[in-house]
Each structure stands twice: as structure tokens, then as C-alpha cells.
């Protein structure tokens, strides 16, 4: 098989890239080691920046998001027993949309299928080859038969544990990492959300977040020790602990119910430099991971794909390599700003081992300044709604 761009990974990054390239007449094939159902079963992010929504609109996959997504103009920060609203729309003119990553993936899957484009699921032993030459290729096995795709470029959109980054020589790559000493215990429940907007809470017992997927499906998170196991958190214990960390108004509005999904996720910041290796590019979680506190993971994947698609369009339209040569630097400039913002949000909202006495007072002073300073509120809002591409 021959194609212009071989995309490894059928998550939102790979699917969005495939649609952007198709829109520009650039042939591409997507390889995914899992089944479509498995991909759609992964519960992930649920907040979209306007730039991400615009990209979905560009490829004709945004209609359902506009019908079903919840547009939010602000968020609430809770500390010291009180809630404080940050009006992001007033500060920036922009909003965010609550719309699950699973739904984004489904919309992009349907768009690819409708366009009749090739996506190979359950592709085993996917391996990129010769990406440091002018003739890269990707091999994979399907139904016991080995296949090869000759291509011009390879896009590694296969996540943190994928084969793309793992195929790069260690001497050619540098990684930066910060592992946080706690995790997020999250549950999904068929209950109405406790508030119309997200509530981020700094509490002596630990961080909590109240969010939603729709007006009848809620998502809640609690900071928990890294060594906790999901079996230690039956639903009753989760709801009791959440109530301890919320303000009284939120407790009064909280509707508890059976969890339909429950998981514990560790938090880390991780960045790979560069994001280009010859004729292979990394995008999304294959290149960087951020704590979910700043809601940047999916949105960073979208901005990576925006830059990469533009670079490949430039290459094929004008035979100029300027875009692909500059892809890594351009993407990383935005990535590091989002990493900084996510680290900062995490640092002011969570209880760290040394967050006692002085550390706790510094957090409260930071939060108090944040909600009472127009400049600080504007800075938070600008980063939260998404920096421009």
C-alpha cells in the first residue's frame, strides 16, 4: 500500500489530522491497534477550547458538539469555605465547551467513515521504519498477515505508551517530567451536575472538582494518594468525602447516585523534545502529558494537529519544507505554556506533602489575589480558554 501520510493512532489527534489532510486532498491511512469500541470506551477529557471546536467545524465534525455541548462562560474557585466565580467571557471574549472526548472521537470516526477513508483497526505489531530517510514506511499485522505502507511522512498520534516515540533512538530525544505525589479519583454518574459551571476546590482534605458531561450526567474528582486502589472507594465513601470538601451550597445541591465509571489516574507533566524526527512527527499524548487540572490535554493535541496539517499542506502545495522544519518549535512553544499553566493550577489547588503552615497560607494568598485582581483574573481566563494558535 502507498499513501502520503501514515497516521499511527485513531484517537482524536489521529482522526482530526486525517480529516484535515483529507480536506486538503492529502491521502492518508490510519492504523490503530485497538478496536473501535475499545477506543470509544476510554473516558477522557471533556472540555474544549474554541480553537478545538473550530477545527471540528472545519472538517465537518462539529454539528453534534454545537447541538449537545454545554457552553460555559466561567468557572468557580472554592477556598476558605466560599466560592468565587471567574467570568472568562468578560475577561477574554471567549468561552469553553463541555463535550466529552469520547463524543469528539465518535464524531471524527463517523466523518472518516462517511468520507470513505481507510482506517485499519486491530492492527497488530505496528512499527515505523526508515523515518530518518526519504522513504519511510510502516509495517503492521492484520489477521495473521504482515502488511507494509510506503509513505512520505509518518504521524505518531498513538499516545504516551505508543510505539512512535519508543521507536526514536534515545540519543535523539530529550524528555522532561514532573510526577505529582497524588492521583485523581474520578467517577461518572447519571445525576444532574451540582452547579451550572465547574467548581475547583482547594480544601484542607485535598482538591476536588465538580464537572459534568451533560445536564444529566456528572463527573466528579477527588485528590487521593497514589497508592489508593479503586476497591477502597465504594460509592458511599466517595460521596461522603466529596461532601466534606465542598461548600455548603454545593453540598445542598449535590445529587448522589450509583457510579457508572470509576478510576484513579496519576498526575504528571511530561514533554518530549523535539517533536519531529526526520519524516516522523509526534502529536498529542505521544509528545506531551499535562495534569488534567488545566483541561489542556485534548486541546494541545488539537493545536499540534493544526500546526502539522498546515505544515503538510504547505509542503504538498508549494513543495516548501519551511512548515515541517518549523513544526516542532511552533508546537512546543504552545505546549510549554500549557504545561506551565497546568502545573500552576495544580500547585495552587492541591495538597502537597509540604502544604502545611506556610505552604497552605501561600496557596490561599494566591487564590485570594487571583479572584480579587482583574489582571490575575484575566491571566487565568486567557490561559484557561486557550492561547491563540
**Active site residues per annotation:** 72, 200, 292, 296, 384
Distance from C-alpha of 338 to C-alpha of 121, rounded to nearest angstrom: 31
Neighbours of 361 (CB within 10 A): 11
DSSP output for 226-264: TT--GGG--HHHHHHHHHHHS-HHHHHH-----EEEEEE
**How far is residue 322 CA from its own chain's centroid?**
28
C-alpha cell at 344: 500552576
Q: What are the DSSP E strand ranges found in the chain?
A: 5-8, 28-31, 47-49, 70-72, 74-79, 82-87, 96-98, 119-120, 124-129, 137-142, 145-150, 153-156, 174-189, 199-201, 208-214, 217-224, 259-273, 276-277, 280-282, 288-289
Q: Which single residue is written with the C-alpha cell 455548603?
A: 248
C-alpha cell at 175: 524528555
149 has which bridge partners?
138
3-class state of residue 209 by DSSP: strand
3-class state of residue 217 by DSSP: strand
Amino acid at each position: 500500500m502507498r499513501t502520503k501520510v501514515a497516521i499511527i493512532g485513531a484517537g482524536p489527534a489521529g482522526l482530526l489530522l486525517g480529516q484535515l489532510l483529507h480536506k486538503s486532498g492529502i491521502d492518508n491511512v490510519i492504523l490503530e491497534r485497538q478496536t473501535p469500541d475499545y477506543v470509544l470506551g476510554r473516558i477522557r477529557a471533556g472540555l474544549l477550547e474554541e480553537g478545538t471546536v473550530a477545527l471540528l467545524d472545519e472538517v465537518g465534525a462539529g454539528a453534534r458538539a454545537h447541538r449537545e455541548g454545554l457552553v460555559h462562560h466561567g468557572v468557580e474557585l472554592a477556598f476558605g469555605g466560599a466560592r468565587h466565580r471567574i467570568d472568562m467571557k468578560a475577561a477574554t471574549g471567549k468561552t469553553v465547551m463541555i463535550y466529552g472526548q469520547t463524543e469528539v472521537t465518535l464524531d471524527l470516526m463517523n466523518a472518516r467513515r462517511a468520507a470513505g477513508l481507510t482506517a485499519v483497526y486491530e492492527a497488530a505489531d505496528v512499527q515505523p521504519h526508515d523515518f530518518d530517510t526519504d522513504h519511510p514506511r510502516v509495517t503492521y499485522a492484520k489477521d495473521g498477515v504482515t502488511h507494509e505502507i510506503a509513505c512520505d511522512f509518518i504521524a505518531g498520534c498513538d499516545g504516551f505508551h505508543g510505539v512512535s516515540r519508543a521507536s526514536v533512538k534515545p540519543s535523539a530525544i530529550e524528555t522532561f517530567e514532573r510526577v505529582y505525589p497524588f492521583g485523581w479519583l474520578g467517577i461518572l454518574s447519571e445525576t444532574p451536575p451540582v452547579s451550572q459551571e465547574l467548581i475547583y476546590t482547594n480544601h484542607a482534605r485535598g482538591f476536588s472538582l465538580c464537572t459534568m458531561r451533560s445536564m444529566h450526567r456528572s463527573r466528579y474528582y477527588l485528590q487521593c494518594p497514589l497508592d489508593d486502589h479503586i476497591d477502597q472507594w465504594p460509592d458511599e465513601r466517595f460521596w461522603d468525602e466529596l461532601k466534606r470538601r465542598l461548600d455548603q451550597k454545593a453540598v445542598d445541591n449535590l445529587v448522589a447516585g450509583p457510579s457508572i465509571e470509576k478510576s484513579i489516574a496519576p498526575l504528571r507533566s511530561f514533554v518530549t523534545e523535539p517533536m519531529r524526527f526526520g519524516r516522523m512527527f509526534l502529536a498529542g499524548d505521544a509528545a506531551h502529558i499535562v495534569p488534567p487540572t488545566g483541561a489542556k490535554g485534548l486541546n494541545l493535541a488539537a493545536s499540534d494537529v493544526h500546526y502539522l496539517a498546515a505544515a503538510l499542506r504547505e509542503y504538498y502545495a508549494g513543495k516548501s519544507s519551511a512548515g515541517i522544519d518549523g513544526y516542532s518549535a511552533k508546537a512546543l512553544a504552545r505546549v510549554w505554556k500549557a504545561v506551565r499553566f497546568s502545573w500552576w493550577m495544580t500547585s495552587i489547588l492541591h495538597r502537597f506533602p509540604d502544604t502545611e503552615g506556610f505552604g497552605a497560607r501561600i496557596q490561599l494568598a494566591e487564590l485570594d489575589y487571583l479572584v480579587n485582581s482583574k489582571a490575575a483574573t484575566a491571566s487565568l481566563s486567557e490561559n484557561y480558554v486557550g492561547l491563540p494558535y
